Amino acid sequence: MNKNFKLEREINSLSNFPNSKPYFPKLKSWLLPYAFLSPTLVVVTLFFFVPLVIVFILSFTNLDMTNFGILKWWQPANWTLDNYVKIFTNRFFPRILNNTLMYVSMTLIFFNVGMALVIALITTNINRRVGFTFRLIWLMCRLTPVVVYIMMWKALAGPAPMGVINKHILGPLGIGAGEYLLNTNPWLFIILVNGFIGASFGMIIFSSAIEAIPKDYMIASKVDGASTWQTIRYITIPMIRWPLLFVTTYQTLSLLTSFEQILLLTNGGPGLYETEVWSLTAYHRAFSSYFGNTQWGYGSAWAVILVIIGIVMAIVYLRVFKFNELIQEPKIDQL
Amino acid sequence: MKVSRSLLSISLIVILVMSFTAMALAQDLDIIPIKVRCRAKPPMENWRGNNFLLAENELNADLEAAGDLRRVKVEVIQDNLDWGEYITEFVLGYGAGESPDIWLTGHEYIGTQAEAGRIIALDGIIEEFPIYNLVFDTLWDCTKYKGETWGVPQDAEARPLYWNKTLLKKLGWSDGEIAALSGKIEKGEFTLYDMLETAKQAVDKGVVEPGNGFWTRPKNGPDFTPFYYAFGGETIDSATGKLVFDKTAGLKYYKFFYDAAQKYGSMGCLGLDWSSAWHPGVTSKVLFWVGGTWQWAEWAEKFLKDLGGEAYMWENFGFGLIPAAEKGGKPNSLTHPLAYLVSSQCKYPDLAVALIAKVTNYGPNTRHAIASTHLGILKGQTEYKFYKESRLLSEALYMLDYTTFLPNNPYWGTYSTITYEALAAVVSGDFTPEEAVDFVVEGLNRELGDKIIIK
């Protein structure tokens, strides 16, 4: 198939030689793909690359509430490394880093990849309609507006007698003293709240990937006497390596930069920096402070490091999962 | 017939001329939109902005009487945004050329905004409105920066120490002892450590749960500064206008909060959510706590309405000044007046100041004071019939004699963030008091450089 295609192209190119196409149609055919790409290019440039460059420059300035509109932040004379020094000498830097690593890894392992895979495997191996319905129900977390969703969790975690968990589960079991569970177990709730949403993404990708595996493999494995676990381990998982890589990479980067649920749930508390993650620190420094001493330059520096961490992690993933091998054409097609 | 025709013609001409004149005059009226931005907790503080809606007609009547062809059209934007976001909104709005004409905010932001040129000094305009002479001089001092006046005080408050009378009774206090407590605090006979000792007894006897002996607000904010003042701290150098951190007073201040959390069963409050945990906590299970007079209305309206609102609170809660640090010392309180500032993008600052003058009067200000339990700002307001109706406002008024303020300095936000982080760290046990002082000194030096004086 592949060879035929190449041959066809070569024949076509020979038949067209010497090229007799007039200039304008040739230019048109050269420009057309770029014309189609241009809206995306414009949007990505305006709303991603330009802000990224601005944030990068801001990270070297001390732009804040006191000098906004006064400081010429674009002039190199006003650029220093002070913000980066401040970050790495910050007494709470290790705690914020540790929180970020814990938040990303726990949510990723237990929910965004782990739970997503389990749900996908189960729902694709049961009655199709039931599996579909279950996945639809699980999507409700993602479909609910985040503020409403967090308010629901706050109502669940509320102190006795109002809190649903305290009143209907822990109370009857005689566990705990009816405390506000977000204060006593903030991390548990942060991981659950994020995980329930995050798992739905992987669940959809994995389910469709599993459904796309040709049934012949499954039938062949059954004929060979493979157990369900062996089928999953030696057929399903290897066949969905690409979606696994994609979901893991995408969700890692997504978790690194997500903070809205934590902001609404604990806002980094209840203790000092107890649940403060990196992206939330960037937000707090740049946009939120009781006395309005927002520091856009300092917040940008936190954000820039986050971007660098994200890029490094993406490269690590691509290496670990052997991305180059995955994008090669399947060997079966090369025969 | 001819005469009547010519009369008719003349009449028609006169009517036409008059109509055109009226139309021309009407067209000359210049409608000036004035945008007022207020932060207000609904429904208690709605008069902050709503008073302007009532003032619009009054000012327009004045303008008409004076033959001024300008008329104002007031637009009020009012919500309960967090302070940080509220200020960011103003700064970014100003950057986009869309700042409100009148902006209500805490007086401590004046330094920042004045330095950046986003607000105008009102000297030279306010003198034309003698009503402003009624405002207390101490409140005007709050709106001064570098010798100029940058805002008009809107309200004031006290930040008392509250106590739960029912829990004190459970601890064995008699009614007489409870009633005498505010007096003892005023005389310096009941100190901050006496309060902690009482809190510890309450925890030990099971009257309150550990952590609930004494609470402050759950987040960074002005309420901590009076404690620093109580231990002899100062925040601003009057000669240079620079911020000051006093290490000796700071050590005592951090030791107090360290002791409160680690030894006296208190301070289980930091990081709590306001409405779901802090307010329900202080109104039911905490022995001593620091709050604001405005919260009295909030508790009555939002948290204790079912139990009887204010009547229940008079029955169960007491309040007094922040106790002195040592026996015989001076107790204090802190008032944090809000002020109306005028944006430098306002095209008609005289009209903005005229509108503010309309709401700076006994009627409008008392409406706000009663509804939100803020203290009045005008001389003689305590004699105003309707102001006297509020028991809390009358009973808390003496606190203004002991009041302290936050400094007007552009870098107060940075100062407050660093000193609060250290406080939260001693409360959580992450820092010792000595480490907290080191952290503050290092942080202030790093962030503020020569803008801070460390004593």
What is the nearest CA distance from B396 to chain A, expressed in angstroms? 26
CA B138, B143, B146, B149 torsion: positive or negative? negative
Q: Give pLDDT, residue B119.
A: 96
Lookup: tokens for B123: 């000297």
> What is the tally of structural domains in chain A?
1
Q: Are A320 and A249 in contact (CB under 8 A)?
A: no
A15 within a domain of the structure (yes/no): no
Question: Which of A65, A91, A287 has its CB closest to that of B439?
Answer: A91
Burial class (CB in 10 A: 0-12, 13-18, 19+), B372: buried
Lookup: tokens for B7: 């009369």
Taking an 8 Å cut-off on Cβ atoms, the answer to whether B116 and A70 are in contact is: yes
In three state form, how does the secondary structure of chain B look? CHHHHHHHHHHHHHHHHHHHHHHHHHHHCEEEEEEEEEECCCCCCCHHHHHHHHHHHHHHHHHHHCCCCEEEEEEEEEECCCHHHHHHHHHHHHHCCCCCCEEEEEHHHHHHHHHCCCECCCCCCHHHCHHHHHECHHHHHHCEECCEECEEEEEECCCCEEEEHHHHHHCCCCHHHHHHHHHHHHCCCCCHHHHHHHHHHHHHCCCCCCCCCEECCCCCCHHHHHHHHHCCCCCECCCCCCEEECHHHHHHHHHHHHHHHHCCCCCCCCCCCHHHHHHHHHCCCCCEEECCHHHHHHHHHHHCCCCCCHHHHHHHEEEECECCCCCCCCCEEECCCEEEEEECCCCCHHHHHHHHHHHCCHHHHHHHHHHHCCECCECCHHHCHHHHCCHHHHHHHHHHHHEECCCCCCCHHHHHHHHHHHHHHHHHCCCCHHHHHHHHHHHHHHHHHHHEEEC
Q: Are A223 and A312 in contact (CB under 8 A)?
A: no
User: Regarding predicted confidence, which is higher, A167 or B148?
Assistant: B148
- String of b and e for A93-111 (b: at least 16 CB within 10 Å)? eebbeebbeebbebbbeeb
A101 within a domain of the structure (yes/no): yes
Q: Are B142 and B405 in contact (CB under 8 A)?
A: yes
With beta carbons under 8 A apart, name residues in chain B contacting A91.
439
Question: Which of B219, B417, B428 has its CB closest to that of A293?
Answer: B417
Q: Give pLDDT, residue B2.
A: 57
CA A245 to CA A201: how far, in whole Å?
13
Question: Which of A69, A86, A269 has its CB closest to that of B95?
Answer: A69
3-state secondary structure of A18: coil
Question: Which of A68, A180, A272 has its CB closest to that of B424?
Answer: A272
Residue range B238-252, pLDDT digits in tens: 888 899 999 999 999
Nearest chain B residue to A163 by CA: give it.
B276
CA A245 to CA A254: how far, in whole Å?
14
Q: Are B254 and B191 in contact (CB under 8 A)?
A: no
With beta carbons under 8 A apart, name residues in chain B contacting A289.
84, 220, 413, 417
Dihedral Cα A311, A316, A318, A324, nearest 10 deg: 120
A143 within a domain of the structure (yes/no): yes
Mean pLDDT on B380-408: 88
Taking an 8 Å cut-off on Cβ atoms, the answer to whether A65 and B221 are in contact is: no
Q: Which residues contact A87 (CB under 8 A, 6 or more apart)?
A: A93, A298, A301, A302, A305
Nearest chain B residue to A264 by CA: give it.
B273
Residue range B417-436, pLDDT digits in tens: 999 999 999 998 989 999 99
Taking an 8 Å cut-off on Cβ atoms, the answer to whether B91 and A183 are in contact is: no
With beta carbons under 8 A apart, name residues in chain B contacting A266.
271
Strand partners of residue B71:
B31
Half-sphere exposure of B256 (CA within 13 A, CB side): 27
With beta carbons under 8 A apart, name residues in chain A contacting B270.
269-272
Taking an 8 Å cut-off on Cβ atoms, the answer to whether A269 and B270 are in contact is: yes
Q: Are B455 and B240 in contact (CB under 8 A)?
A: no
User: Which chain A residues have any C-beta within 8 angstroms of a chain B C-beta?
Assistant: 65-70, 86, 89, 91-92, 154, 158-159, 177, 180, 182-183, 266, 269-272, 274, 287-294
Closest Cα to residue B368, out of B50, B14, B33? B50
With beta carbons under 8 A apart, name residues in chain A contacting B220.
289-291
With beta carbons under 8 A apart, name residues in chain A contacting B430.
272
Residue range A161-186, pLDDT digits in tens: 778 898 888 888 888 777 888 888 99
For residue B24, pLDDT over 80 is answered with: no
Question: Which of A92, A183, A292 has its CB closest to that of B272?
Answer: A183
pTM of this structure? 0.79
- Gap between the terminal Cα atoms of chain B: 101
Q: What percent of chain A is helix, strand and coil (3-state, nearest 5)?
A: 75, 0, 25
Nearest chain B residue to A62 by CA: give it.
B447
Which residue carries 């029955």 as its tokens?
B315
* B25 confidence band (pLDDT: 50, 70, 90): low
A29 within a domain of the structure (yes/no): no
What is the nearest CA distance from A132 to chain B, expressed in angstroms? 38
Taking an 8 Å cut-off on Cβ atoms, the answer to whether B439 and A293 are in contact is: no
For residue B56, pLDDT over 80 is answered with: yes
- Peptide bond preceding A270 in cis form (omega within 30 of 0): yes
Closest Cα to residue A271, out of A188, A187, A191? A187
CA B422 to CA B256: how far, in whole Å?
13
A21 within a domain of the structure (yes/no): no
With beta carbons under 8 A apart, name residues in chain A contacting B410.
66
> How many percent of chain B have pLDDT more than 90?
69
Residue range B149-172, pLDDT digits in tens: 999 999 988 899 999 999 999 999
For residue B292, pLDDT over 80 is answered with: yes
Kindly list the distances between the CA atom of residue A29 and the CA atoms of A13, A19, A24, A34, B23, in Å, as whole numbers in the listed order.
16, 14, 9, 10, 65
Taking an 8 Å cut-off on Cβ atoms, the answer to whether B83 and A290 are in contact is: yes
Q: Give pLDDT, residue A77.
A: 93
With beta carbons under 8 A apart, name residues in chain B contacting A86.
446-447
Query: Where do the domains of chain B lie, and which CATH numbers do they carry?
Result: 7-156+336-403 (3.40.190.10), 161-335+408-454 (3.40.190.10)
Q: Are B215 and B427 in contact (CB under 8 A)?
A: no
With beta carbons under 8 A apart, name residues in chain B contacting A190.
none
CA B298 to CA B374: how far, in whole Å?
11
Per-residue pLDDT of chain A (335 residues; tens, 9 = 90+): 455 555 555 555 555 555 556 788 888 888 888 899 999 999 999 998 999 999 999 999 999 888 888 889 999 999 999 999 999 988 889 999 999 999 999 999 999 999 999 999 999 988 989 999 999 999 998 899 999 999 999 989 888 777 889 888 888 888 877 788 888 899 999 999 999 999 999 999 999 999 999 989 989 998 999 998 899 999 999 999 889 988 998 999 999 999 999 999 988 878 888 999 999 999 998 887 777 778 899 999 999 999 998 889 888 888 887 777 766 666 555 54
Question: Which of A86, A266, A289 has its CB closest to that of B413?
Answer: A289
- Peptide bond preceding A51 in cis form (omega within 30 of 0): no
- Strand duo B243-245 + B452-454: pairing: parallel
A11 within a domain of the structure (yes/no): no
Taking an 8 Å cut-off on Cβ atoms, the answer to whether B276 and A291 are in contact is: no
A313 within a domain of the structure (yes/no): yes
A69 within a domain of the structure (yes/no): no
Q: Give pLDDT, residue B409.
A: 86
| CATH at residue A151 | 1.10.3720.10
Mean pLDDT of chain B: 91
What is the nearest CA distance from A247 to chain B, expressed in angstroms? 34
For residue B400, pLDDT over 50 is answered with: yes
Which residue segment(s) compose the domain that A192 sits in? 81-334
Taking an 8 Å cut-off on Cβ atoms, the answer to whether A292 and B84 are in contact is: yes
